[in-house]
Each structure stands twice: as C-alpha cells, then as structure tokens.
Amino acid sequence: MSLGQLISIASMLIVIKLTTTCMDMNDYGRYGLLITLGSMSSLITHIGINSGIPRIYSLSCSESKNNEGLKASGKVLLDSFKLLLGLLLVLVMLTGFGISIDTHYYFVIVFSWITTTNLIINDVHNIVRKRALVVASLLFDAIFKSSILYVVFHYYSASVDAVFMALASSAFLTISFNVFLLYRFHDLKFKSLISDKHVQHYRKKIYRYSWPLGVIGFVAWFQIYCDRWIIDYFLGASVVAKFNVMYQIGFTPASLAIGLMSGIFSPLIYQSKDQKDLV
C-alpha cells in the first residue's frame, strides 16, 4: 500500500464527510448518480490505459527507446484532450438541434476528462520511478478538493451545482500542477509527439494492449454502479445517497487490500519480458 493510495482514500472520506454533512440527502443522491457517469472513464483508464502505459514503456526500454515510450504516453494525453473536445462538440450540436441537455452533463464530461488525465499523468510519473511526484499530485488534489468544497459550502450553497463547481475547480488546479510537473521533470516536448514515427508505433501498442482491459473496466463499471440507478428508479435519490455512503465506507478495507496486492504484483507483471506476444 503506497502513501499515494492512502492519501486518495483519506481524501475520499473527507469529501464524503463534507458532502453528507452539508447537502440535502436528495441532492447528495443526485450527485451520487451523476458521479457514476464520470467514474466510467476513470475505471476504463485505470484498468486499461494505466496498464498499457507501463507495459509498453517497459517494452520500449528493452528496445533502448526509453524516450519514445515516454513520448507515446504524452501522445495518449493529447488523444484524451481531442476526445474531450469531441464530446463537448457533440453536446453543443445536440443543443443546436433543439435537444435539451442538462448542464450537469457538461460538468460530468469536463470533470471526468480532468480526472482521467490526472490518472494518465500520474502513470507517467510512475513509469520513470518518480513516485514522489505522484504523492505530491495526490496530496495537492486532496488539499484543493477539501478546501474548495468547504469554502463553496460555507459561502455559496450546498447544491449539486456547487459540488461540481468545487470538484471541477480543484481538479483543474491539480491538472495544472501536474502539467507543470510534466514540463519540469520529464522530457516531454509536445511538438515532437505528432511527427515521430516511433512515438506513433508505441502509441498504437499502448492502445492494442489496453483496449481488452478497457472493456473489462467498462463491464466492472456497469457491475459496480448499475445498482444505484435501479435503487433510484424504485426507491428514490435519498435512498441512493444512503447506499452510496455505506458502499464507499464499506469498500475502504477492500480498497486497501487491493492496493496492497497491486503494489506487490504489478512490478512483476509489467517488468516481465516473456509477455512480448501480448503487444
């Protein structure tokens, strides 16, 4: 179990305490339902892309192309930004055709992209063994998230809009900090990411390795979160709120155990050189 994982869990518990204390249960239930949509991209990224990046970087190191493997991870970051613009454009076009889109979905998409991008950047820090940067990123995220939520609840309101404003603001500050760390501690010049053939080669390998795991991530997301929507349909948002709190707190011991096992076995998996047939 790493210090970064402990910080993430502590941050989650602080957010639960703030939101459940300050928000109406119906609003908290609506927030819980919307955040499940954002969790889809996080799970797909965590299980898929965050497995592919270290594996392909390990492969590039074995082929003496460390820098190209690192740049391929940067290319994945650019791809995620293109996806964000594409999704926002689709929503704007749907609105233009007269289809009403809840503004919460814009918050969800932007928040999901920022969270996903932070996961990828932390993976870049990890593959070059700069784990102190991951801890710094997660610590800043926990501080930003908790303090902004507290200020918004205290001086503005404890509504669904307020929560998403606070979370999006804290995530934006975290990603700005992460981008600074990328430029300061990694040799990632994004102008060179587009034309380098070796970068494109390793980028394709990342996606080839990651997409089956990404499908597993989507299935896991559906399995974990579909029950909230069923509960909302039959029992209402206030019951979803109670279920969400109990689930998150109850899952904490399991999350600690999973993090411990992942920390033990991940290096053995990703540094194994007999897996080249997988990519």
Q: Where do we find the tokens 């080249």?
A: 276
Predicted confidence at residue 220, as pLDDT, reads 87
Task: Name every residue whose Cβ is closer than 8 Å to that of residue 116 and which is 6 or more positions away in sequence.
Answer: 41, 42, 45, 80
Check pLDDT > 70 for residue 210: yes
From 117, 2, 130, 123, select the one nearest 52 (Cα to Cα).
123
2 three-state secondary structure: coil
Return the pLDDT at 207: 92
> Does residue 168 register a pLDDT over 70?
yes
Q: How far apart are CA 275 and CA 59, in angstroms?
A: 9
Task: Write out pLDDT tens, residues 69-80.
Answer: 777 887 888 788
Task: Mark residue 236 as left, alpha or beta (left: phi above 0; alpha: psi -120 to 50; beta: remaining).
Answer: left
* Residue found by looking up tokens 């669904």 in the block: 160
Higher pLDDT, residue 198 or 58: 58
**Model pLDDT, residue 279:** 45
State the CB neighbour count (10 A cutoff) for residue 240.
Answer: 26
Tens digits of residue pLDDT in 66-117 = 777 777 887 888 788 778 788 778 878 887 777 777 777 777 888 788 888 8
Neighbours of 43 (CB within 10 A): 20
| Position 193, amino acid | L
Q: Is the pLDDT of residue 122 over 60?
A: yes
Tell which residue, 182, 168, 77, has the closest CA to residue 136: 182
Angle at 179 between CA 38 and CA 166, to 5 degrees: 40
Q: Which residues contact 177 (CB under 8 A, 6 or more apart)?
A: 136, 137, 140
Query: What pLDDT does residue 274 have?
Result: 44
Task: Please report, in angstroms and rounded to a whole number, the separation of the first and last CA atoms in the chain.
Answer: 28
Instruction: Place 273 in a pLDDT band, splitting at 50, 70 and 90.
Output: very low
Tokens of 66: 């460390």
Give the rounded percent of residues in the chain with a pLDDT score beyond 70: 83
Q: Which tens digits make up the pLDDT trace of 12-67? A: 778 888 888 888 888 888 888 888 887 888 888 888 888 888 888 888 888 878 77
Of residues 7 and 207, the one with the higher pLDDT is 207
Q: Which amino acid, 113?
A: W
Give 6 or 116, the one with higher predicted confidence. Answer: 116
Q: Who has greater pLDDT, 210 or 266?
A: 210
**Average of pLDDT values for 256-266?**
60
Which residue pairs from 9-12 have beta carbons closer than 8 angstroms and sit at least 24 positions apart in sequence?
A: 9/252, 9/255, 9/256, 10/142, 11/138, 11/141, 11/142, 11/145, 11/146, 12/248, 12/252
Whole-angstrom distance, CA of residue 214 vs CA of residue 201 = 20
